[in-house]
Amino acid sequence: MVLTRLLAPEIFGIMLLINSLRTGTELLSDIGIGQSVVRSPNGEDRNFLDVAWTLQVLRGVLLTAFALLAAAPIAALYGQPDLMPLILAMSPMFIFTGLQSAGLFVSQRRMQLQRRAIYDITSTVVGSALAIGLALVIKSAWALVIALVVGTIISTILSFVIFERRLPRFRWEAAHVREIISFGKWIFFSTAIYFAATSYDRLYFVAAVPIAMAGIYGVARTFSDMLTGLAQRAGAFLVFPRAAAAHNQDGAFADRLRGTRRKTLALLALVTGVAVAGSDQFILLAYDPRYNAAAFMIPVLMVGVWFAILSTFADAMLMGAGRPAPGAWANLAKFAVMLVGLPFALARGSLLDALLVLVLAEAVRWLALLPASRRERFGGVRDDCLLTALMAITALTAKWLFGTAGLAPTLGEWWAMRALLQL
């Protein structure tokens, strides 16, 4: 919110592309190193951890080399010459990420949530302070790129300070490498499709809509993705480790997790419903009028976020059961909807239709995961439909209450804001 007061929407459009490329480069090369440490019986063996760290460093070096080589072609593809030096400056962060302590994965395996929270909050606060401080001096995308690289260096140092102060060693043992790669091949496929499914809209919007509108969309996605991020954290640090531990012991864990899943998702349904109802007012209060279009976008995106939450929990449970394949196919289905739907919607000149395509894509992903979830007795259509109804009723009720009390735009006033989406 502070940065939007200091920088123009066009800069956020450029950073939307850079961050999508950064995330994509990481996801497209994910071989499941962290997931292997969490679920492997050897996950706390020192030799295994050293092998995992060695693979992580090699991956970081290769990603940096790729970013350096791809900078010029990407800048030419988007017709943005200023992108090339920005991507070149961003590329070393992959090496610094690769050097991070394997203790991060051990902490996830042991479900040491407090220690991980300290690490994440400290890294985020430091990174945000760097970005704001640099933006006060450098009124360009360079402030955010420099903050990104320096923040990564600090996060790497913190990973050893907070988790384990023992420096790892380069080690290569064929048996451990095979174990990581064997499980990681599905992770690689799944995360590659996941990137396509979660970042195609960002990459496409930068090329297909005015850069300022893409920046406004990036702001809307930043806040709508907060709930998705919460669900992903819960899945990664609560559901996945518990499912993996129970599966390693006896494999009969579905019934124990299903009740917890219902309660957790019911709470998230209430939170999502309130967010759908009040997020437009948040944008109107927190941002200047240049970003008002985001006030219409966020409630629509939040509906898609709900289906993303359902999918994230299902995917984490299936991953814990040693079944990463359904998640990969579900993300592929989501990507297919976006690949066909977004160009069609924007060809009609309708950004609203494009937002609805994103909601549909998340719903298709959820539907694609249902058969595998039912077979593993993690959930079913009835459970998820009741939870979805709870979210919708909460959203409509909260919207009526907020609108009546003057705390947020009424449903009609929100709908009128769609005029701000003109391309």
pLDDT at 255 over 70: no
Summarize pLDDT for 168-203 with one digit per residue, the tens.
888 888 888 877 777 666 667 767 777 777 778 887
Q: Tens of pLDDT along 15-32?
A: 877 887 787 777 666 667
SS3 114: helix
Q: Using one digit for the tens of pLDDT, what is the confidence trace for 46-88?
A: 888 888 889 889 988 988 998 899 889 988 887 878 889 999 9
Distance CA 319, CA 236 (A): 10
* Residue 249 pLDDT > 60: no
Question: What are 164's two structure tokens?
Answer: 């384990």
Cα separation, 322 vs 91, in Å, equals: 33
Token pair of 396, please?
Answer: 């409509």
Looking at this protein, which amino acid is placed at residue 58?
L
Say what the pLDDT of residue 295 is: 93
pLDDT at 256 over 80: no
Residue 35: Cβ-neighbour burial (10 angstroms; 0-12, 13-18, 19+): buried
Mean pLDDT (whole number) for 132-160: 90
What distance in Å separates the CA atoms of residue 227 and residue 391, rounded to the nearest whole number?
Answer: 13
| Identity at 261, one-letter amino acid code | R
What's the one-letter identity of residue 331?
A: N
Looking up tokens 């300290």 gives: 118
Which DSSP state fits 167? Answer: P
From the number of C-beta atoms within 10 Å of its C-beta (0-12, 13-18, 19+), residue 281 rates as: middle
Mean pLDDT over 149-155 rounds to 92
How high is the pLDDT of residue 100? 86
| Whether the Cβ atoms of residue 39 and residue 248 lie closer than 8 Å to each other | yes
186 compared with 393, residue with greater pLDDT:
393
Give the predicted TM-score (pTM) of the model: 0.68
Largest CA distance in the chain: 66
Task: Kindly provide the b/e burial profile for residues 320-346, where b requires at least 16 CB atoms within 10 angstroms of the residue's own CB.
Answer: bbebbebbbbbbbbbbebbeebbeebb
Res 325: pLDDT? 74
Q: How many residues does the chain have?
A: 423
Task: Give the Cα separation of 18 and 215 in Å (integer).
Answer: 12
- pLDDT value at position 280? 92
**Segment (H or E) for 70:** helix 46-78
Lowest-confidence region among 175-189, 233-247, 299-313: 233-247
Token pair, residue 214, equals 């893409």
Residue 207: which of 418, 13, 11 has the closest Cα?
13
Angstrom distance (rounded) from CA 35 to CA 241: 9
Domain ranges of the chain: 1-184, 209-423
Identity of residue 19: N
3-state percent helix, strand, coil for the chain, nearest multiple of 5: 85, 0, 15
Output the average pLDDT for the chain: 83
Residue 390: the pLDDT is 96
Q: How far apart are CA 12 and CA 18, in angstroms?
A: 10
Cα–Cα nearest to 234, from 210, 207, 267: 267
Residue 298 has pLDDT above 80, yes or no: yes
Asked if residue 239 has pLDDT above 80, the reply is no
| Angle, helices 293-320/211-234, rounded to nearest 10 degrees | 30
Decide if pLDDT at 420 tops 90: no
pLDDT at 403: 92
